[in-house]
A and B are shown apart, each in its own frame.
Chain A
Amino acid sequence: MSATSSTIVNLPDQTTATLPKRNYINAEDGMLSWLLTGDHKRIAILYLISITFFFFIGGAFAGLIRLELLTPQPDLVASDTYNKLFSMHGIVMIFLFLVPSVPATIGNFVLPIMIGAKDLAFPKINLLSWYLYWIGGLFTLAALVLGGVDTGWTFTTPLSTHYLNTHVVTAGLGVFIIGFSSIFTGLNFIVTIHRMRAPGMTWFRLPLFVWSNYAASILMVLGTPVLAITLVLVVLERTIGIGVFDPTKGGDPLLFQHLFWFYSHPAVYIMILPGMGVISEVISTFSRKRVFGYTAVAFSSVAIALFAFFVWAHHMFIMGVSNYSALVFSLLTMLVAVPSAIKVFNWSFTMQKGSVTFETPMLYAFGFLGLFTIGGMTGVFLGSLGMDIHLTETYFIVAHFHFVMVGGMLMAFLAGIHFWWPKMTGRMYPESLSKLAAVTTFIGFNLTFLPQFVLGYLGMPRRYHAYPPEFQVLNVLSTAGATVLGVGYLLPLLYLGWSLKYGAIAGNNPWQATGLEWQIQSPPLTENFIETPVVDYEAYDYEWLANKTQNEVTTVG
């Protein structure tokens, strides 16, 4: 079973290997045992199924949007339907997919194991947060079925409170409830990381995935309540007519913007930080090196979290904030780029000094690096005042945030799913198909969103369902790309599903990685560890791993 030079995959002998007889999946039988579970790993699986469901709903909206934009004429849907399409697309993708994606699925599954804990600190609250996710999700779907919302995902007042006669209240309540799901996840993570680490697992031995989720959790806990109260005020303004944002009563719509973006800018980092954690794990594993500048990468997560709270007004440059404050916010925005850049540089150094192999998770991680870098650099354009006034509310901004959130976050999510899939299910997926999917996604993504930078630069505004004919070529390219991208997203659904039954047995540690989660059986036991592990090595210490003998691995037969 020796690894070839181009790969480190190390699978057990397939003729004799079987899944462990006892594991968290077969620990108890029946739907109910899943719906009432307190096991963080089962909750992770519940989340994974749920967010996949919502991802494809959001994706269907994206498909319709792109179909409408195939031709300059408004021919597929009416303008108000179009407004509802992009609003629901945004709401579903942000609140029901991106925010919970990595923390609630991968984080829930591996974070407690990574620090040597038997579970998160509050298993019942963890389950509660999944139910809140679904209650909020059903509200959002109800808003859709009842006739939709057309405020965009930003619920901007006074549009949302006075002028639009759609289901803002239902959708707002939905997002409010989903917010609590995210608050509880963050709270659970913070307490768990502080209080449940195994002996020897010091702060600077934590895997970087834990650090980045820790930073994201701080943002969830501090930011989300502000969004919650803002939505409460919107709902109260619509229903009983209080006037906090209503200019006819002396209220100020700009205040809504301040409160909303105070959450929603940091929310971008709630989405991206956990993804960055995934990338650190993947790059380190497939370069067989400790992440270069471990401490810098760890602290840069926390720095991003803190800075994130001071730049919100860069979303408001054209909304009437004073020149002076716009200038200050522009400068502060540039500062956030620094910790992100630190990460990118350190990942690059890690690879440069390591022996790199190209398994599927690594391909996705490369995709992340490329796309996130483009997304991040165009963010600097947008952060500079003069440029922003030209580019904002055009397709440039659409391209920018899709590069960061879809190119960055979604790539990281897929990298993580492919990385930990053997641990979650005990099985491997077909390698050639998964590599094909990674490449397809990358090509499809660029074809979809690169033309949008040009479109935006040329002046095509966002949120319009018709456009001048000279923009058509680029729009056709973009729609074609979206189709390729759609295939790229469907492929993993198919072969990962297939692997559940037919995939090769993965063994405990197919990637020969160092994290604690790789030292226990796959799929793990309900209680993760038979004995609480004692950690006496640094994170990503590959020499330690090489010296470790096979029988030290904690399994039960």
Chain B
Amino acid sequence: MDNATTVVAMQPPAAVDEHEHVSLPQHRHHFETEEQQREAGTFGMWLFLLTEIMFFGGLFFSYLLYRNWYNPAFVAASNQLSIPLGTANTAVLITSGFFMALAVWAAEMKKKSLLVLFLVLTTLFGVVFLGVKYFEYKEKWEKHHIPGEHFDISEFVNPPRDVKTGKLVEEPLPPDMAQKTQVFFSLYFAMTGMHALHMIIGVGLLLWLIPRSQRGDFTAGYVAPIENFALYWHFVDIVWIFLFPLLYLINRHPV
């Protein structure tokens, strides 16, 4: 792919570069040194994450705008989300991030079986997170909280009463404000959906990294793919750390 034939002809036969140490097989011809290659890779990854920030930035911007405009609708809609599930999922995700950090450590320490173990654990916790998301979405579907034709605002206009005390669970919203809860749910699905999509891509990458780790690709001194993937995974964690309070915990903030 990298025009290997011509390049080989140009390089000294023993694959020893100018700095007199043996190149790893992953050293690409157009970099002067492995150090340069590693720095370029990391820098590229950070830039990519910057584009991701801008990508989510559009959503966060919309969220802040509408939350200012339609605060009562946002609070009421937010109360329909399950704080216990959200909290549990936050814990699950942070745990998977922790295992990912351990995986980087294992790769750097050249501990192959630990690396594989930690990557598998990262994957598992990632999948659990997605499973919980599935149940949350399903509940929204059943409650008719998916924006569109079947969206149901009756619960926001006539909130149910508590069975024991007979008090209203929630302040009733005037119908036009209740309509605006759709915007909250639109953003909820767009933001968590985008986040979940990033998790799915991450799990896919993990499933590709695990067999390669088993082959020992990353425990001989070449750890860049593990490190760069970890950056990605932590980024996805961090996005969630912002999403969780913004979407689930609005009510804790005095209205």
Contact = CB atoms under 8 A, between A and B. Distances in A.
Interface of A: 27-28, 36-39, 117-125, 183, 187-188, 190-192, 194-196, 221-226, 228-230, 232-233, 236, 240-244, 249-252, 255, 259, 525-527, 530, 532
Given A37-B3, A117-B30, A527-B10, A226 B58 contact: yes
A243 B40 contact: no
A121 B185 CA distance: 42
Interface residues on B, range: 35 or more
A221 B30 contact: no
Contacts of B180: 249-250
B186 A222 contact: no
Nearest to B47: A187
Interface stretch (B59-67, B119-127, B163-171, B206-214): B59-67
Contacts of A188: 44
Contact of B55 (A122, A229, A243): A229
Interface SS majority for chain B: helix
Contacts of A187: 44, 47-48, 51
A190 B40 contact: no
Interface string B133-159: 000000000000011110100000000
B44 A122 contact: yes
Contacts of B187: 244
A252 B65 CA distance: 10
B74 to A, nearest CB: 10
A227 B189 CA distance: 19
A395 B216 CA distance: 64
A190 B47 contact: yes
Interface of B: 1-3, 5-7, 10, 28-32, 36, 39-40, 43-44, 47-48, 50-52, 54-59, 61-62, 65-66, 70, 73, 146-149, 151, 179-180, 182-183, 185-187, 189-190, 194
A221 B40 contact: no
B51 A244 contact: no
Given A222-B54, A240-B146, A259-B62, 5 more contacts: A28-B5, A240-B148, A241-B147, A249-B179, A526-B7
A183 B128 CA distance: 32
A308 to B, nearest CB: 14
Given A244-B183, A249-B179, A526-B3, A226 B30 contact: no
A191 B40 contact: yes
4 closest Cβ contacts across the A-B interface?
A241-B148, A250-B180, A119-B30, A225-B55
Given A123-B30, A226-B54, A228-B55, A38 B2 contact: yes
A120 B44 CA distance: 12
A230 B186 contact: no
A117 B48 CA distance: 22
A525 B29 CA distance: 14
